Each structure stands twice: as structure tokens, then as C-alpha cells.
Amino acid sequence: MAWMRQEDEILENLPPSAQKIHHYLQPKGRAKPRELALDPKMPFRTIRYALKQLERKGLITKVPDLMDLRSYVYMLKGES
């Protein structure tokens, strides 16, 4: 419960693009950057910046895509 409040406080201090991506990832759990570019309709550069911010704050994890090791999958912390 305390982590949820702390997570909400961290999200409030992030740019709106990072908040939208975090909200997008909640029901899905994981996504590639190209998938994120299609749904929220944000420029790809903005998405990369938002993902970097979320990763720095410890809200998401970046893991190699096992189907294509040249790319990454981003997932919420705690998802597997």
C-alpha cells in the first residue's frame, strides 16, 4: 500500500508522456517501444525519453526481446 502511494508521487513529478505510457502499460504489463508509438500517438522520440524517465525512477524494467535480440521489451516492475 505504501509503495502505491510512493509510486503515485513519483508519477506526479514525471512528464505527461511518461504518465501516459505508465498508464498504457498497466493493463498490458509489457510492450515494445514501437507498440507504444501506435497507441498513445506520441512521437517516437518522446516515447524513448519517457521510457528512460520511467526506468530511471524504477517504475519499469527494460529486458531484451528474446524473439529479436536487437530490440527491448519494457515492463512494469514486478511483472514477469
Architecture of domain 2-76: Orthogonal Bundle (1.10)
The Cα 51–Cα 74 span in angstroms is: 8
Confidence tier at 80 by pLDDT (50, 70, 90)? low
The Cα 44–Cα 33 span in angstroms is: 8
- Provide the CA 3 distance to its chain's centre, in angstroms: 17
Residues 12-65: tens digit of each pLDDT: 899 999 999 999 999 988 999 888 887 667 899 999 999 999 999 999 999 999
Domain ranges for the chain: 2-76
Give the model's pLDDT for residue 79: 63
Give the model's pLDDT for residue 42: 85
